Amino acid sequence: MTEKPKIGVYVCHCGINISATVDVETVADYALKLPNVEVARTYSYMCSDPGQSLIKNDIREHGLNRVIVASCSPRMHEPTFRKAIKEAGINPYYLEMANIREQCSWVHHDIDEGTAKSKKLVAASVAKVRLLEALESKEVDAEPSALVIGAGIAGIQAALDIADAGFKVYLVEKTPSVGGRMAQLDKTFPTLDCSACILTPKMVDCASHPNIELLSYSEVEEIGGYIGNFDIKVRKKARYVDFDKCTGCGDCAAECRVKDRFPSEFDMGMGKRSAVYLPFPQAVPAKYTIDPESCLYLTKGKCGKGPKCAEVCQAGAINFDQVDETVEFRVGAVIVATGFDPFDASRKPEYGYSDYPNVITGMEMERLVSASGPTGGKIKIFNGKEEIEPKEVAFIKCVGSRDESVGNEYCSRVCCMYVAKQAHLLRDKLPDANIRVYYMDVRAFGKGFEEFYDRVRRENVRYIRGNPSEIFKRGDKLVVKVEDTLTATPLEDEVDLVVLGVGLEPRADMRQTMELLRLSQSPDRFFLEAHPKLRPVDTATDGVFLAGCCQGPKDIPDTVAQAKGAASSAMIPLARGKVVISAQVATVDESTCRGCGFCVNICPYTAIELVTVNRFGHEVEVARVNEALCKGCGSCSPGCLSDSIQPKSFRDRQILPQIAALGVFK
Ligand SMILES: Cc1cc2nc3c(=O)[nH]c(=O)nc-3n(C[C@H](O)[C@H](O)[C@H](O)COP(=O)(O)OP(=O)(O)OC[C@H]3O[C@@H](n4cnc5c(N)ncnc54)[C@H](O)[C@@H]3O)c2cc1C
């Protein structure tokens, strides 16, 4: 820089987050003695309005042209302080943050050591800040449309909100119908609303909304581009049924030569479906699909004298020549709402789920208890001799949750309440049955939950504190082996039916979505949000948002609330019609670049390509950065053999003096 650096250093107390372990006044006094530092101050919350005003006033009064804020991680407040210094008239990239909270006060206990380290971090920032260059952010146009992946309640709600606001939405659902897991539920806790009654109107709305293009039985195959301009490729799988001709009458399924031979996914395998099927009567769209893995004609090339479905379809909708189609479009934002998988109970072999038909999961109980389920809502089991109504029923909670042995340390947040709900529904249907719930804790934390739990206990459902160790067979009974830990009594409880309160897990196929969108996972393996408190629906990829159980287990109210949050965040770029692209991106010195392409392979954002340029009369290949795609992560830089690619604000000439100031080269 040509002008003399005039640096202001602002040391934050962060309440006592920093000041309990760092003597902030000493750090400010020290900073004032560093070269080119004109002002050094402390304040209780530098990010607050008075804190920001302090900085702005100093810029104006002292003519500061560089600012250092010694406080929290730049991930937290860099945008806040950039905005503040820009408002005071200096380039927003003339800011450096010394992270004396996460990297100092939070990891040290000794105030002298914390203060000494903070001084070093501030000195390192002073060494760097004067070498920063002025950068200008760019604006690009944003496509006023969104992609929503997954049409459970989260995806449906997000799509409806965006569409109602006037933007086009592409809603992509992998299975033949929208609805997700909520469509399989009977009633919903704690209000006991009928799940279908509250969900189906929304399913119908999303399919008929003029702004929503529903792509069911489809999968996203490619996503390129960046916030405001994502290029999407979707594969519409062949249904072998002409979508426009099918009237949903069901004649094909009724006449299918392999009628009702295959386990119905919707009924958790407890009911059967034909090879041509509608997943459930209220499915949306109400169009039949031929399962290519079960259809005789598609698997064996032969179905009697000819496919019966084609013969009986009055509309002439059956079409075995149909092939997968590719649909391409561009959107400004993406919402991921891909949901969860119920825990696979066979991973707890001690509970005998794979061995005993009368050990079922909570998801199966939802179908069993439902009037639209495989038994018409009757609770009947086969005890080896005859079909009976169970008299003794045990629920076991926390199956696959809070359990290190299966790698799930987290609480699934819905099992306590869905078990209470199912116990209540069983009590209604089996007034004389003995119903007990084995539990570790009861977490009834939501609105109306505690009251519901109390109601269920008053309905003579016994809660027994204990985590069963084993289930085995004795005669025609199942024996639950458990210790009642409140009375220290070992029990061998003989029952007819066991319901495992299985938890929620990340989807087994989530990796594909992760790779498409470059998403990360949190330690519980669900998708990681950008910040757990302040950016709970954002991801590290700008323009990509999360909704529902793909981000972590949650009930329907929380899912809907998060979907609405994701929709409103996604609508910001769509409504503005423009997006700001960060200026802190990698840049290539084309005069030294050898065009080896290492950086192209390294870049996790596919932001670099090789282009041909004319260098001193010769055509040569050099790397070029797409600034809209680049996140400034710096991965490219260490891989560059000729030091030609470096991120702006993190160039060697800027960070080497910073490292030297830390004293690590001594
Ligand atoms: C046994 C049980 C009982 C429950 N009972 C209640 C209750 O009474 N009350 C309550 O509030 N909550 C209850 N819940 C929780 C409730 O089910 C969830 O809150 C809700 O289903 C979450 O919705 P979602 O849209 O996030 O996910 P999901 O319902 O899982 O929907 C995700 C959708 O995305 C689709 N999808 C997945 N991957 C892709 C992809 N790559 N491309 C396109 N589409 C994709 C799926 O096919 C699915 O349609 C219960 C949960 C269980 C397990």
Amino acid sitting at position 212: I
Instruction: Report pLDDT for 651.
Output: 95
Beta strand pairing call for 95-99 and 145-149: unpaired
**b (16+ CB within 10 A) / e for 179-217:** bbbbbbbbbbbbeeeebbeebbebbebbbebebbbbbbb
Say how many CA atoms lie within 13 Å of 102 toward its Cβ: 9
Tell me how far CA of residue 237 lies from CA of 48, 214, 258, 383, in angstroms. Answer: 53, 13, 22, 42
**342-505 fold:** FAD/NAD(P)-binding domain (3.50.50)
Residues 6 or more apart whose Cβ sits within 8 Å of residue 402? 408, 409, 410, 411, 440
As a whole number of angstroms, the longest Cα–Cα distance in the chain is: 94
Query: Is 3.40.50.720 the CATH number for 586-647?
Result: no
Ligand 1 binding pocket includes 336 (Cβ within 6 Å):
no
CA–CA separation, 277 and 259 (whole Å)? 9
Residue ID of nearest Cα to ligand 1 atom 8? 188
Name residue 471's amino acid.
Answer: I
The response to whether residue 181 sits with its C-beta less than 6 Å from ligand 1 reads yes
Q: Report the distance separating Cα 199 and Cα 181, nearest Å.
A: 11
Q: Would you say the CB of residue 424 lies under 6 angstroms from ligand 1?
A: no
In this prediction, residue 581 carries a pLDDT of 87
Q: Does domain 145-237+324-339+509-577 have CATH number 3.50.50.60?
A: yes
329: helix, strand or coil: strand
Single-letter amino acid code for the residue at 18: I
Of 151, 284, 170, which Cα lies nearest the Cα of 233? 170
Residues 167, 144 contacting (CB under 8 angstroms): yes
Task: Tell me the whole-structure pTM to 2 decimals.
Answer: 0.90
Q: How far is CA 292 from the centre of its chain?
A: 31
* Cβ atoms of residues 189 and 449 within 8 Å: yes
- Predicted pLDDT of residue 666: 52
Query: Which residue is it, tokens 């810029």?
Result: 59
- Residue 215 Cα distances to 122, 174, 230, 368, 409, angstroms: 54, 8, 17, 30, 36
For residue 12, give both structure tokens: 């934050």
Strand order in the sheet with 470-474: 470-474, 477-484, 489-495
The string of DSSP codes covering 213-238 is: EEE-SEEEEEEEEETTEEEEEEEE--
What angle is formed at CA 267 by the lines to CA 265 and CA 272, rounded to 5 degrees? 75
As a residue count, the chain comes to 666
Evaluate: CB of 180 within 6 angstroms of ligand 1: yes
- Span from the CA of 145 to the centroid of ligand 1 (angstroms): 24
Nearest CA-CA partner of 378 in 196, 184, 190, 186: 186
Query: Which residues does residue 172 pair with via DSSP β-bridges, in sequence order?
Result: 149, 215
Nearest by Cα to 419 from 442, 401, 445: 442
Task: Compute the distance from residue 295 Cα to the ligand 1 centre, in Å.
Answer: 28
Parse the chain into domains and list their residue ranges.
7-129, 145-237+324-339+509-577, 251-312, 342-505, 586-647
Kindly report the protein residue whose alpha carbon is nearest to atom 27 of ligand 1.
Answer: 339
- Pick from 401, 544, 555, 564 the residue to mutate for probing ligand 1's pocket: most ligand atoms within 8 Å of its CB: 555
Q: Is 304:281 a contact under the CB 8 Å cutoff?
A: no
**What pLDDT, on a 0 to 100 scale, did the predictor assign at position 628?**
86
Q: How far is CA 642 from the centre of its chain?
A: 39
* Residue 289: strand, helix, or coil: strand
HEC readout, 75-129: HHHHHHHHHHHHHCCCCCCCEEEEECHHHHHCCCCCHHHHHHHHHHHHHHHHHHH
Q: Is the peptide bond before 190 cis (omega within 30 degrees of 0)?
A: yes
Structure tokens at 510: 């989530």
Q: Which CATH class is domain 7-129?
A: alpha beta
Which of ligand 1's atoms lies nearest the C-alpha of 177?
A: 49
CB 390 within 8 A of CB 496: yes
Which ligand 1 atom lies nearest to the CA of residue 361?
1
**In the chain, how many H helices and how many E strands?**
17, 36
CA distance 63 to 7: 9
Tokens standing for 269? 């395998």
Nearest residue (CA) to ligand 1, atom 35: 150
CA-to-CA distance for 92 and 8, rounded, in angstroms? 14
SS3 538: strand
Three-state DSSP state, 171:
strand
User: Do 178 and 216 touch, CB atoms closer than 8 A?
Assistant: yes
Model pLDDT, residue 665:
58
Positions of the chain with pLDDT under 50: none
CB of 555 closer than 6 angstroms to any ligand 1 atom: yes
Distance CA 455, CA 432 (A): 17
Comparing 7-129 with 145-237+324-339+509-577, is the CATH topology the same?
no
What are the pLDDT digits (tens) for 324-382? 999 999 999 999 999 999 999 999 999 999 999 999 999 999 999 999 999 999 999 99
